[in-house]
């Protein structure tokens, strides 16, 4: 029998997100690291909560698969997904993304109808700001880069399993942000060297992350702007654009791919890692809804299909175009092409 239950799940979807965000804000999962459990009474004592909200939070987190209640007992402990990704200090800590969405995009999303009507971003004003990153509180910028690192580090792991970067010598991560992709890929491929290419105020963040990972001898940074620099850096046989092209419109992306083609040597490879729409542009939801988020956050961005990327690459002069698929927070696949 057809019921409105699927609609109810959509309507109440934000309940799940805000429950997760509240638990991350409280550092609940970090407090329960390494197998520790907590009861309602202990949660009340440690956080100064009344019994009703403490009980409700633990029950809600358990219902979402974030906590597990001990059989026959009163204690709750981290579920494997929380222990792996929501404990501060874990290699693939995802809390930065949770905090960024909670503090930066959640309230603007309440005005998504305005974005649909005006075709203008909601998290910044293009009439008064040069870009999404200008005139922004430094703490919010720090939160943004932590969110991008949280999303990228595991996505890079999945990409590294799906495509063999071991056939390459030098990787250029175009718009590489905090350096998550080079760090993870160079960990996996011991002979790979890499450069993070990004804006002058961004590359110090990448340099710090690289140094913390102990990889400064294999990963460098290059300050620049891939739209205005005379040419993109040379000397790399593989170029990566991870979660970059969904920020821009088609003409801008085509122009950038042409610049990539000029910068790569003959036989060089380009890798576009994104949440890809299917050719019919009917899903998957992760890619389609990221496109909606581009309405909130960018001037001309949207999510594109693998077919669109393949057409643009062919027009730019690339060949041997293929797609690899995987499951990760920041991408579900990558389009790979070789300079003819």
The residues assigned a catalytic role are 246
Distances (CA, A) of 190 to 19, 168, 182: 40, 11, 12
Among candidate residues 249, 231, 226, the one with its CA nearest the CA of residue 175: 226
CA 181: distance to chain centroid? 11
CA distance 123 to 238: 33
Listed in sequence order, the DSSP H helices in the chain are: 5-11, 13-25, 28-31, 40-47, 51-63, 80-85, 95-100, 106-109, 112-118, 138-162, 180-188, 203-212, 250-263, 285-297, 306-316
- H or E segment to which residue 170 belongs: strand 170-174
| Residue in this structure with the two tokens 């102990």, named with its chain if needed | 214
- DSSP secondary structure of 270-319: EEEEE-PBPTTS---HHHHHHHHHHHHH-SS----BHHHHHHHHHHHTEE
CA distance 54 to 41: 8
Q: In what order do the strands lie in the sheet with 67-69?
A: 37-38, 76-78, 67-69
296 phi and psi angles, rounded to 5 deg: -75, -35
| Residue in this structure with the two tokens 């992709």, named with its chain if needed | 181
- H or E segment to which residue 239 belongs: strand 238-242
One-letter-per-residue 3-state SS of 8-39: HHHHCHHHHHHHHHHHHHCCHHHHCHHHCEEC
Question: Measured between alpha carbons, how far apart are the two ends of the chain, in Å?
Answer: 55
Residue 330: both structure tokens together? 């920041």
């Amino acid at each position: 029998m057809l019921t409105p239950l699927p609609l109810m799940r959509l309507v109440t979807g934000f309940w799940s997100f805000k429950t997760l965000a509240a638990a991350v804000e409280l550092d609940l999962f970090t407090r329960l690291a390494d197998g520790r459990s907590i009861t309602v009474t202990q949660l009340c004592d440690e956080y100064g909560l009344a019994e009703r909200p403490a009980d409700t939070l633990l029950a809600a987190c358990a219902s979402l698969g974030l906590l597990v209640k001990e059989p026959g007992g009163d204690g709750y402990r981290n579920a494997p997904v929380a222990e792996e990704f929501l404990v501060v200090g874990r290699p693939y800590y995802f809390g930065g993304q949770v905090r960024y969405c909670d503090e930066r995009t959640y309230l603007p999303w309440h005005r998504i109808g305005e974005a649909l009507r005006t075709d203008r971003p909601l998290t910044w004003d293009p009439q008064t700001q040069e870009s999404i990153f200008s005139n922004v509180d430094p703490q919010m910028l720090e939160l943004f880069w932590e969110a991008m690192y949280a999303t990228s580090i595991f996505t890079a792991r999945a990409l590294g399993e799906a495509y063999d970067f071991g056939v390459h010598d030098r990787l250029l991560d175009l718009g590489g942000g905090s350096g998550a992709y080079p760090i993870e890929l160079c960990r996996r491929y011991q002979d790979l060297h890499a450069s993070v290419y990004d804006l002058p105020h961004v590359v110090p963040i990448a340099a710090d992350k690289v140094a913390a990972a102990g990889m400064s001898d294999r990963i460098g940074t290059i300050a620049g702007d891939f739209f205005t620099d005379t040419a993109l850096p040379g000397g790399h046989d593989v170029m990566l654009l991870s979660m970059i092209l969904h920020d821009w419109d088609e003409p801008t992306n085509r122009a950038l791919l042409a610049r990539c083609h000029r910068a790569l040597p003959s036989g060089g490879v380009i890798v576009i890692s994104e949440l890809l729409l299917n050719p019919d542009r009917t899903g998957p939801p992760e890619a389609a809804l990221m496109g909606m988020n581009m309405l909130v956050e960018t001037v001309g961005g949207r999510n594109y299909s693998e077919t669109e990327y393949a057409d643009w690459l062919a027009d730019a002069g690339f060949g041997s175009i293929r797609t690899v698929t995987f499951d990760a927070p920041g991408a579900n696949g990558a389009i790979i092409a070789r300079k003819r």
